[in-house]
Structure 1
C-alpha cells in the first residue's frame, strides 16, 4: 500500500464505521428504545417536570407499568400508570383502588398527609360510570396519573387504545441526581 492510499483507506473505514453507527442508532431509537422528556406534574412524585426517561418499545405492558402513549386529543405523548388491562374491572372507593375485586395499596400516589383538608386524592368511580364498560375491552387500557389531583387521564378521556402506546418507561437518566431504573412490579 502506498503512502497516498493509506489515508484514503483509513478515511473509508471511518466513513463505514460512522455510517453503521448511524444506522444502528436509528434502528434502536425507532424500534427498541427512545429518550423522552416528561412534561407536566401528572406523575409527581414518580416523575418531575423535565425529567428525561428512556422508553422501551419492546416491553410487554403489565398492570402498574408506567407507559408513554399518544395523547387522545393533541399531538403529544402522555405518561401514565396502567391500572386496568383488558378484561379487568376497576373501581375507586374511599381512595382505595379495587381491580377485579382485589384492593391495592398505591404507595406511588402523590398524597399530602400533612394537609388536613385533603382527605382523599381520587374521587369514587367505577369503570362503567366513566367509560360505559363493565370491564376494560380487548385492545384498550385504563390509565391514571400518580398525581391524581393534577392528572388528565382515563377518568377524563376514557380508555386508551393499546396501539397508541409508544412503550414503557424503564429508566430516568436526568436529572443526574435522580437516576433510577424502574421495576414497576415492585413500585
Structure 2
C-alpha cells in the first residue's frame, strides 16, 4: 500500500472517530431568542453536552436546552434554552417581582433586569421534574407559564457548556 493511501485511510479513520464522538457527546445549537439575555444573546453559538445527565441529575443554575410542548413555525416541538431554578420537590413562589425557593428569597446576579415578574403560588415541583426560567424574566416564556410548565428529565437535550461565538465572548459554563 502506498504512503498516500495509508495517509488517506488514517485521515478518514480520524474523521470517522471525531464524527462519532461529536454526534454522541455534543450538540451545537444557535440561540434564537432574547429570553436568556444577558447570559446568551440571539445568534450565540452554544455547545451542549448531551450526556451531562446520563448518570446525574441537573443542578440548580444549570443552563439546559429541552424539548418543549410549544410548536415552531414548521409545527415541530420547539427547543428552549433556560436555567434550572427548581429541583424535584422544591416549592417555587414568585410574587412582588421576587423568586422564592422553599420559602426563602432567592438572589440571582445573572438576571437581565434583576426582577422576576409574574405570580406563582407555592408550586411544588413534581418528583422527577424541573422548574426552569430564562435570565431575561420580563420576556421569557418558561415554567411560570402553563404552556411550558415544569419539565421532565427526558425532555432535556443537553447542558450548555461552551459559548463558541461570538469569538470575543467565548466562555465555559
TM-score computed with the length of structure 1 as normaliser: 0.78
Per the TM alignment, residue 148 of structure 1 is displaced from its structure 2 partner at its CA by 1.0
- In the other structure, the counterpart of 1:108 is 110
Per the TM alignment, residue 126 of structure 1 is displaced from its structure 2 partner at its CA by 2.4
SS in 2 for 1:63: coil
With over 3 angstroms needed to count, the CA separation of the structure-2 counterparts of 1:125 and 1:13, relative to structure 1, is same
Structure 2 gaps, min length 5 = none
Give me the whole-angstrom Cα distance separating, in 2, the residues matched to 1:69 and 1:147. Answer: 17
Per the TM alignment, residue 84 of structure 1 is displaced from its structure 2 partner at its CA by 1.0
Per the TM alignment, residue 43 of structure 1 is displaced from its structure 2 partner at its CA by 0.4
Within the candidate set 112, 126, 136, 2:125 is matched to: 136
TM-score computed with the length of structure 2 as normaliser: 0.84
More strand by share: 2
Moved over 4 A (4+): none
Alignment root-mean-square deviation, CA: 1.8
Q: How does 1:18-167 map to 2 (within 5 A)?
A: 18-60=11-53, 61-74=58-71, 75=76, 76-111=78-113, 120-128=115-123, 135-156=124-145, 157-167=148-158
CA contact (8 A) 1:97 1:106 kept: no
CA contact (8 A) 1:89 1:100 kept: yes
Per the TM alignment, residue 57 of structure 1 is displaced from its structure 2 partner at its CA by 1.6
Q: Which has the larger radius of gyration?
A: 1
SS in 1 for 2:88: coil
With over 3 angstroms needed to count, the CA separation of the structure-2 counterparts of 1:20 and 1:100, relative to structure 1, is farther
Give me the whole-angstrom Cα distance separating, in 2, the residues matched to 1:32 and 1:88. Answer: 30
Give me the whole-angstrom Cα distance separating, in 1, the residues matched to 2:136 and 2:119. Answer: 16
Per the TM alignment, residue 45 of structure 1 is displaced from its structure 2 partner at its CA by 0.6
Per the TM alignment, residue 52 of structure 1 is displaced from its structure 2 partner at its CA by 0.5
Per the TM alignment, residue 161 of structure 1 is displaced from its structure 2 partner at its CA by 1.6
CA contact (8 A) 2:29 2:46 kept: yes
Give me the whole-angstrom Cα distance separating, in 1, the residues matched to 2:15 and 2:121. Answer: 48
